[in-house]
Structure 1
Amino acid sequence: MNIYTPTGDEWRTTQLARFIARHGYRDLDDLREQAAREPGLFWDQVIQAIGLDWVMPYRQTLDVSDGVMWPKWFVDGRLDLVDNLVGKHARATPTKIAIRWEGDRGELRTISYAELAAEVERVAAGLCAMGVGAGDRIALYLPMIPEAAVTMLAATRIGAIFIPFFSGYGADSVAQRIADCEARVLVCANGYYRRGKRVPMLDDARAAARASPSLRQLVVVDRLGIGPADADDAGEASCVEFEYRRLPGYLSTCSRVAFPADQTLMLIYTSGTTGKPKGVVHTHAGFPVKGAQDLQMAFDLRADDTLMWITDMGWLMGPWMVYGGLMLGATLVFYEGTPDYPDAGRLWDVVARHRVTHFGLSPTLVRMLMASDGSLPPPGALDTLRVFGSTGEAWNEAPWRWLFEQVGESRRPIINYSGGTEIGGGILACFPGLPQKPCAFNGPIPGMAVEVLDGDGRPVRGSVGELAIRQPWPGMTHGFWRDAERYREAYWSVWPDVWMHGDWASVDEDGYWLVHGRSDDTIKIAGKRVGPADFESALVSHPLVVEAVAVGVPDELKGEAVVCFVTVRDGEALAARPWDEWEAELVEHVGRQLGKPLRPARVHRVEAIPKTRNGKTVRRVMRAAYLGTRPGDLSAIENPDAIDAVSAIGLTARRVVDAVGT
C-alpha cells in the first residue's frame, strides 16, 4: 500500500522524467530495459546529461572483450576531472558556494568555487614539489573538514591515487592500510572535536608513519587551532613533516594533464570486520559518472541545491558526495559534529542554517533521534528541505514512518538508496515524484541490470532471493588492489558473468523492491530463511523497545536460532517488572507478529547497540562476540564497549548451557 502518492506534475518536473522524455523512452521501465539492451547508448546519454567534458573524446563507450568482470569504459578517452568538478563552475559562477562546513562546536566556514579551485591548485603544486606524481598513493586521515575534499581533488589534479581512511581509526588500522597500498604521503589532522572534546589524531598518525616504510612525507592540518605541530614530539621520525597551510611549491610547478578514463582515482578500504580490509579500486571516469548519475536521477539534485550527508570521508558516501555533487555544480555541507550534540535538535538546526535541500542519514540515526526528547524540528526549520536520503542498512517501518510523517510532514520523499563501496553508488533507489511504500525501493537505478535470483539462478518475484547484477556499469570497482582472485571470489564465483552482491532481496506483489539485509546475515530456521530486519521490526513495534538487533546462532534442533539484543526506554514500567518477564513478553510479541516457530530463543537487554561511526549496525561482529569467536577488525566501531557487553552476555549464556549439559 502506497503511503505517498505525488501529483503527476511532481514527477514530470524531475530530471529523470525529463531524461526519459528527451530521449524518447516510454516510461521508467522502458528506460531500464533499453539501458540493459544498449548500455553504450544509455551511458552516452548519461555523459551528456551530467555535462562531463572530455579533453580527448572516447572512441568506444564499453568494451567487454576481457569479460564482464573487467569491462573497459570510455575507451581511449582522456579528461581533466578537476576542471569538470571545480574549474568550469569557478569560471561560470566564481562566487557560488561550493562547500559549507560546520564544526562540532558550531564553527562555520564557506568556500566558493573560485576559492576551492585556487586551494586545490595550491595543494596540488605543493604535492608536486614534494615529488608526488601520477600513480603515487596519498592517504587521508582527516575528519569531515574542507581540507579533506581539497586534498582528494589535489591528488586527482596530478593523477595521484587518494585513499581516504575513517577518522576514528587507531594507529594500527592506519598502518595496516598504508602497508597494503604503499602510500607515499599521509595527510592527517592534529585532531578534531567530538561532543565538545578534543580527539587527538597526530600521535596515531605519527605512530602509523613510524610503522610504514613506504611513507616519505606527513602533512599535518591544524584543525585544533593550536599552531604548528612540534616535530620534537614525533619521536624517531620516519618521514618529513609539513604544515598543510605551508606546503612548498608554486602554481607553475604543476602542469595541467588530462588523464585516461580508466586511470585509478581512489582506493577505498572496506571496514575489514570480516577479514583483511579490501582496497576497492575506482577510476577517474567511472566513479564520478556513477555518483553524478545517481544524484541526478535518484535524488533529483540540481546545481542550485545543497547536499548534506551524515558520513565520514572514509566511507563511500563522503567521496561520493564530493565527486558526484561537485560534478553537478551543487553546494555541499560538511558536518563534523555528533548528530545529537549538544541535543537531539542539532541536525535540524544545521539543515536550517545552511538551507539544505537534500539530507542523507541512516535508519539507525533515525531510530536514535526518534527515541530522544526534543528531536522533532521546530516549525519552519525544514522549509528548504525537499528530499531525505537513506542508506547503509534496511529500514524498520516505525522509524521510517516517523521520519516521513512527523519530521517530513508526509510530503518529503525518503530516497531509500542501496548499493555499496564496490558499486561506486547505488543499485536500488526510490525516485522523487513516484509513489512510496514504507521501507521499500521503487526499483533499480537505470543502467543497473538487476535481478532477484533463487538458488538455481532463476529470477523470482514474491519470494526472497539473492540480489544479482547481469551487466557492468561505469562505477563498478576495477577489482581489489593487487588481489584479483579475491575480487573474483567475492562477486563472480557463483554463476558465470553474474555479480552476486551479497544482499537478500525480494520484489513484492505491487512491484516494490525490498532489501532484507546481507545474505550472510540471513537466518535459516528449520529450513526457512528470514532476514534479521523482520525480527528487529517486530521488536521495535513494542512500546518498550528503542532499538533491536537480531543474529542467528547455531541450534542443534533448528539449525539456527535467533538471539536478539534490545535497548529499551527507561521508566516506571521497566522498573516494575524483572527483565525475565519483559523478555518473555517480547518473545511472545515477536511470535504473534512473525509466527510461533520464529520466536527468538533469547532477548537480551543492552545499554547500547554497537555501531560504526556512520550508523551501521554490525550484526556479524555482534554474533562473533556473542559466540566467543574472532570478530575481526573493530577499528571502525564507534562504541567498542558495547561489543564487550555483548561478549560478556555471550560468555554467561555459554556457561549456563555448559552447566545444564553437565
Structure 2
Amino acid sequence: MAESADPKPEVKYYTPDPSYRQNSWMGDYTWAYNEFLKDPEAFWAKIASKLYWYAPWEKVREWNYPYAKWFVGGKTNITYNCLDRHVLGKNRNKVALIWKGETDEEERVFTYRQLLREVNRFANGLRELGVGKGDRVCIYMPMIPEQVIAMLACARIGAVHSVVFGGYGAAALNQRIVGAGAKVVITADMAVRRGKSIPLKHVIEEAIINAPTVERLIVLRRETGRPVEIHSEMEMDFYEVTKDMSPECHPEVMDSEDPMFILYTSGTTGAPKGIVHTCGGYMVGVYYTTKYIFDLKESDVYWCTADPGWITGHSYVVYGPLAVGGTILISENTPDYPDPGIWWKMVEEYGVSILYTAPTAIRMFMKLGEEWPDKYNLNSLRILGSVGEPLNPEAFEWFYHVIGKDRCPIVDTWWQTETGMHMITTVLGEPMRPGYAGKSIPGVVVDVVDKDGKPVKPGESGLLVIKEPWPAMMRTVYNNDERYRKYWEAVPGCYLVGDLAIKGTDGNIMVIGRSDDLIVVAGHNIGTAEVESALVSHKAVAEAAVIGKPDPLKGNTIKAFVTLRVGHTPSDKLKNELIYHVRITLGPIAMPSEIEFMDSLPKTRSGKIVRRVLKAKEMGADPGDVSTLEE
C-alpha cells in the first residue's frame, strides 16, 4: 500500500492496494451503498436469503416507530446456520475453533462436525434438566471452548442466554442473574490468568444466595488435582450433563422475533441495562458484517481478542464467524504474558490473517516499542481491525506501520451492544483516514446532528445518531421498555447512541467519545477523549485519562493521569511540555491544570480505562465495584 497524495496538507489518507477492493465480498463501497439506498428491504432480503430458514419471511421489515420487526414470520435457528449448514455442506471436517491456553501444551481444536456434536450433547443435557424455549440461562465462564459450546447449546434449544464476563464480582453477577430471572447458571471452577488460578465457583455461590429463580448450577471442573466439591442438591458437573447424551439434537424452530439473548451493559447511571436481541435480525446482521466488513474467506484464520462476555465476543467471536463458516482462534492469554510477544507468536504460529482487537491493547504494545512484534513473522496478516473505543491517529499509525507493515487495511469499527453489529467503518479498498472510523456501512444510515436532529456543518462536533432501523438492533431493554424508548425520544426521529462525533467534508466520521464524558470548564464542554488523544499524540505518552475536578471559579478544572512510553521518565519539565502540547493541539481551555504520572491506569479486563476510579481516588470517595478491574 502506498500513502496517497493529501487532498489538503493537514489531512492524511492511506490508500489500500486496489486488489483489496477487487477481491472483497463488498466490492465498490459507493456502488454497494447506493444499491442499499435504492431499495433497503431488497438489500437486506438478499443478504438474509444466503442463510437457511425453515419458513420464509412474509415481510422484510415492519417499522412502527420506535419498534421494528425484521423478517416477519420467518422461522430459523442460528445454530443451524453456524454449524449444521457447514457440516451438511463441504466443511464437515474444516477447523471451526482453535483454543490456545497459556502454555505451549494447552491447545484444543474442533472441526465443525466435532463442535456440532459437543453442542448437541450439552443442548440435550440442558433439555433433560428441564431447560426449554424462553428460559433464561446465565453463563459465567472464562474464555474456553465450553463457554462457546454453552452459548450455542442455549441457542440450539431456544433458551435465552445471558453471558456475564468472568471478571465480575458477586454483587454485579447477582444483579444480572436476578435481572434476567435465570433458571440455570453455568460456570467453571476457575479461570487462568498470568499463570495463576482465579477461583470462580465461590463468586457464583455468593451470587446465587439471593437469586430465587436459579434451580441448577452447572460447574465445569478444570482443576484435575483437587477438583472442587459438587453439592448434588443443586449443582452438577458440566460433563455429567453431557454424559450419555446423544450427539444429535434437533434445533428448536425459532421465530425471527423470538428473543435470542440478553446482554447487560452498564449505563452511566443506574442499574445495568439488559439489552435484548432477537434470532433472525441479529443473525443476518452479524453474518453480513463478518463476511462483508472483515471479508472473511475460506482460507482465513480469524482472531478476535474479545471475550464472549461482551457484545464483541457474541457477534465477532461466536455467531458471525461461525455463520460465515470461518476458522476462529480464541485464547485465554493476556497480551503481555508470559511476555509481550505472545500475541505475535500466536499470529505466526497459527497463520492468523484477520486480527480484531482494541485500541487499549495497541497502545500497550506501542508503549513497549517495536522489539517484540519484530521478533515474529507477521506476513500472514491481511486485515487489521479495531473495536471498543476510538482509535486515535497515533495508535492507527503504529498498528498500520509496525503490525501491518504498511500493507494491511485497518477496519476501525464503531458500534455498540445495542446495535449488535458494525455501523461505521472504512470498508476494504476505501482510503483510510487516521482518527476517523469511516462512513455508514451499506445497510445503515448514520449522521452527526444537533439536539434538534439537524445535521451539523462539516468539521463541527455533534450527536451521533442512527436514522433508520437495522436488522441487528436491540428490541428492548429487558423488563424496562421505557428505558429503550429513551434512546429514540431524545432527538426527533433518531436513535441517539450517546456519542459525540465530527463529520468531515469527505463524509468520514470521527467518534470523539461519550456525550456524557464531558468536562464543563468555564462554560465550555470539553470531551475527555479529545484531551486524552491530544496527550497520547505526544511522543512520550503511552496512555492518558482525564477527569474533571470541581473548581469554584471555572466549575471544573482538568486533571490528567499519564503513563509513559519506555525510555521516558516523569519530570516537572515533561509535565510542562505536555500541558503546552495540549494547549497547542486543542487550545488553552482544554489545558490540564494538573498531570500525575502513573505506572498503569485502572482498566477493566476487557481493556477499558475506568475514569470513575481515578475520580473517586482524587475526591476521596468510594470507587464502587472494582471487581472487574485488571490487577
Q: Same fold (TM over 0.5)?
A: yes
Classify the secondary structure of the residue corresponding to 1:502.
Answer: strand
Q: After TM superposition, give the deviation of residue 91 of structure 1 in Å.
A: 2.2
Q: After TM superposition, give the deviation of residue 379 of structure 1 in Å.
A: 6.3
- 1:601 maps onto 2:593 in alignment: yes
Residue 504 of structure 1 contacts residue 515 of structure 1 at CA under 8 Å; is this kept in 2? yes
Residue 463 of structure 2 contacts residue 501 of structure 2 at CA under 8 Å; is this kept in 1? yes
Classify the secondary structure of the residue corresponding to 2:478.
Answer: coil
- 1:496 maps onto 2:492 in alignment: yes
Q: After TM superposition, give the deviation of residue 352 of structure 1 in Å.
A: 1.6
Q: Which moved more, 1:429-438 or 1:614-623?
A: 614-623
Distance across 1 between alignment mates of 2:601 and 2:609: 7
- 1:83 maps onto 2:93 in alignment: no
**Which residue pairs with 2:278 in the alignment?**
283
Q: 1:393 aligns with which of 383, 389, 393?
A: 389
Question: How big is each residue's C-alpha offset from its partner over 1:151-209, in whole Å with a ceiling of 9 and x where there is no partner?
Answer: 11111111101111111112222222111111111110111211111111111122223
Q: 1:469 aligns with which of 451, 466, 469?
A: 466
Pair 362,448 (structure 1): closer, same or farther in 2 beyond 3 Å: same
Q: After TM superposition, give the deviation of residue 583 of structure 1 in Å.
A: 2.4
Q: 1:8 aligns with which of 4, 12, 18?
A: 18
> TM-score normalised to the size of structure 2?
0.93
Classify the secondary structure of the residue corresponding to 1:425.
Answer: coil
Question: How big is each residue's C-alpha offset from its partner over 1:211-238, in whole Å with a ceiling of 9 and x where there is no partner?
Answer: 322111111112333465313xx5xx87
Q: 2:326 aligns with which of 318, 324, 330?
A: 330
Distance across 2 between alignment mates of 1:603 and 1:91: 60
**Which residue pairs with 1:180 in the alignment?**
179
Distance across 2 between alignment mates of 1:202 and 1:536: 38
Q: After TM superposition, give the deviation of residue 39 of structure 1 in Å.
A: 2.4
Amino acid at match of 2:611: R
Amino acid at match of 2:335: P
**Which residue pairs with 1:153 in the alignment?**
152
**Which residue pairs with 1:68 in the alignment?**
65
Residue 397 of structure 1 contacts residue 438 of structure 1 at CA under 8 Å; is this kept in 2? yes
Residue 79 of structure 2 contacts residue 251 of structure 2 at CA under 8 Å; is this kept in 1? no
Distance across 1 between alignment mates of 2:510 and 2:291: 22
Q: After TM superposition, give the deviation of residue 476 of structure 1 in Å.
A: 0.7
Amino acid at match of 2:378: L
Distance across 2 between alignment mates of 1:618 and 1:252: 44
Residue 395 of structure 1 contacts residue 533 of structure 1 at CA under 8 Å; is this kept in 2? no
- Which contiguous aligned blocks of 4+ residues in structure 1 show a shift greater than 6 angstroms? none
Distance across 1 between alignment mates of 2:233 and 2:273: 26
Distance across 2 between alignment mates of 1:277 and 1:364: 23
Classify the secondary structure of the residue corresponding to 1:352.
Answer: helix
**Which residue pairs with 1:264 in the alignment?**
259
Pair 226,211 (structure 1): closer, same or farther in 2 beyond 3 Å: farther
- Give runs of aligned pairs for residues 171-320 of structure 1, distance below 5 A: 171-226=170-225, 228-231=227-230, 239-247=234-242, 250-251=245-246, 255-271=250-266, 274-320=269-315
Give unpaired runs (5+ residues) of structure 1: 18-26, 640-662
- Give runs of aligned pairs for residues 40-189 of structure 1, distance below 5 A: 40-48=41-49, 51-64=50-63, 67-92=64-89, 93-106=91-104, 107-189=106-188
Residue 169 of structure 2 contacts residue 628 of structure 2 at CA under 8 Å; is this kept in 1? no
Question: How big is each residue's C-alpha offset from its partner over 1:322-356, in whole Å with a ceiling of 9 and x where there is no partner?
Answer: 10000100011111111110111100111122211
Q: Which moved more, 1:626-635 or 1:416-425?
A: 626-635
Q: After TM superposition, give the deviation of residue 398 of structure 1 in Å.
A: 1.9
Amino acid at match of 2:109: T
Amino acid at match of 1:213: P
Classify the secondary structure of the residue corresponding to 1:313.
Answer: coil
**Which residue pairs with 1:368 in the alignment?**
364
Q: 2:481 aligns with which of 468, 481, 484?
A: 484
Count of equivalent residues: 617
Q: After TM superposition, give the deviation of residue 625 of structure 1 in Å.
A: 4.5
Q: Which moved more, 1:506-515 or 1:444-453?
A: 506-515
**Which residue pairs with 2:569 in the alignment?**
574
Q: After TM superposition, give the deviation of residue 239 of structure 1 in Å.
A: 2.2
Pair 94,75 (structure 1): closer, same or farther in 2 beyond 3 Å: same
Give unpaired runs (5+ residues) of structure 2: 1-10
Residue 266 of structure 1 contacts residue 283 of structure 1 at CA under 8 Å; is this kept in 2? yes
Q: After TM superposition, give the deviation of residue 8 of structure 1 in Å.
A: 2.9
Residue 219 of structure 2 contacts residue 235 of structure 2 at CA under 8 Å; is this kept in 1? no
Question: How big is each residue's C-alpha offset from its partner over 1:540-562, in whole Å with a ceiling of 9 and x where there is no partner?
Answer: 23343221112334444444432
Distance across 1 between alignment mates of 2:240 and 2:404: 41
Q: After TM superposition, give the deviation of residue 252 of structure 1 in Å.
A: 8.7
Classify the secondary structure of the residue corresponding to 1:214.
Answer: coil
Q: Which moved more, 1:208-217 or 1:536-545?
A: 536-545
Q: After TM superposition, give the deviation of residue 382 of structure 1 in Å.
A: 1.4
Distance across 2 between alignment mates of 1:408 and 1:116: 32
Q: Which moved more, 1:413-422 or 1:170-179?
A: 170-179
Q: Which moved more, 1:539-548 or 1:306-315?
A: 539-548
Residue 209 of structure 1 contacts residue 238 of structure 1 at CA under 8 Å; is this kept in 2? no
Q: After TM superposition, give the deviation of residue 305 of structure 1 in Å.
A: 1.6
Question: How big is each residue's C-alpha offset from its partner over 1:110-158, in whole Å with a ceiling of 9 and x where there is no partner?
Answer: 0000000111110011001111111111111111111111111111111
Distance across 1 between alignment mates of 2:447 and 2:481: 25
Q: After TM superposition, give the deviation of residue 317 of structure 1 in Å.
A: 1.1
Classify the secondary structure of the residue corresponding to 2:208.
Answer: helix
- 1:38 maps onto 2:74 in alignment: no
Pair 248,496 (structure 1): closer, same or farther in 2 beyond 3 Å: farther
Distance across 2 between alignment mates of 1:589 and 1:81: 51
Classify the secondary structure of the residue corresponding to 1:418.
Answer: coil
Pair 253,326 (structure 1): closer, same or farther in 2 beyond 3 Å: closer
Q: After TM superposition, give the deviation of residue 636 of structure 1 in Å.
A: 2.6
Q: After TM superposition, give the deviation of residue 56 of structure 1 in Å.
A: 0.4
Pair 341,245 (structure 1): closer, same or farther in 2 beyond 3 Å: farther
- 1:451 maps onto 2:450 in alignment: no
Pair 305,169 (structure 1): closer, same or farther in 2 beyond 3 Å: same
Q: 1:405 aligns with which of 401, 407, 417?
A: 401
Distance across 2 between alignment mates of 1:544 and 1:434: 32
Distance across 1 between alignment mates of 2:248 and 2:376: 50
Distance across 1 between alignment mates of 2:521 and 2:235: 57
Q: After TM superposition, give the deviation of residue 247 of structure 1 in Å.
A: 3.0
Pair 597,426 (structure 1): closer, same or farther in 2 beyond 3 Å: same
Q: After TM superposition, give the deviation of residue 569 of structure 1 in Å.
A: 4.4
Q: After TM superposition, give the deviation of residue 628 of structure 1 in Å.
A: 4.7
Classify the secondary structure of the residue corresponding to 1:15.
Answer: coil
Classify the secondary structure of the residue corresponding to 1:441.
Answer: coil
**Which residue pairs with 2:7 in the alignment?**
none
**Which residue pairs with 1:644 in the alignment?**
none
Amino acid at match of 2:144: I
Q: Which moved more, 1:397-406 or 1:339-348?
A: 397-406
Classify the secondary structure of the residue corresponding to 1:163.
Answer: strand
Question: How big is each residue's C-alpha offset from its partner over 1:347-386, in whole Å with a ceiling of 9 and x where there is no partner?
Answer: 0111122211111111111111111256542466212111
Amino acid at match of 1:159: G
Distance across 2 between alignment mates of 1:581 and 1:525: 25
Residue 143 of structure 1 contacts residue 189 of structure 1 at CA under 8 Å; is this kept in 2? yes
Q: 1:340 aligns with which of 307, 332, 336?
A: 336
Question: How big is each residue's C-alpha offset from its partner over 1:477-528, in whole Å with a ceiling of 9 and x where there is no partner?
Answer: 1111110011222x12212331000111111133321100111113343444
Amino acid at match of 2:69: K
Classify the secondary structure of the residue corresponding to 1:262.
Answer: coil
Pair 553,53 (structure 1): closer, same or farther in 2 beyond 3 Å: same
Q: After TM superposition, give the deviation of residue 246 of structure 1 in Å.
A: 4.5
> TM-score normalised to the size of structure 1?
0.88
Pair 30,408 (structure 1): closer, same or farther in 2 beyond 3 Å: closer
Distance across 1 between alignment mates of 2:268 and 2:519: 19
Classify the secondary structure of the residue corresponding to 2:121.
Answer: helix
Q: 1:635 aligns with which of 621, 627, 630?
A: 627
Distance across 1 between alignment mates of 2:17 and 2:575: 46
Amino acid at match of 1:291: V
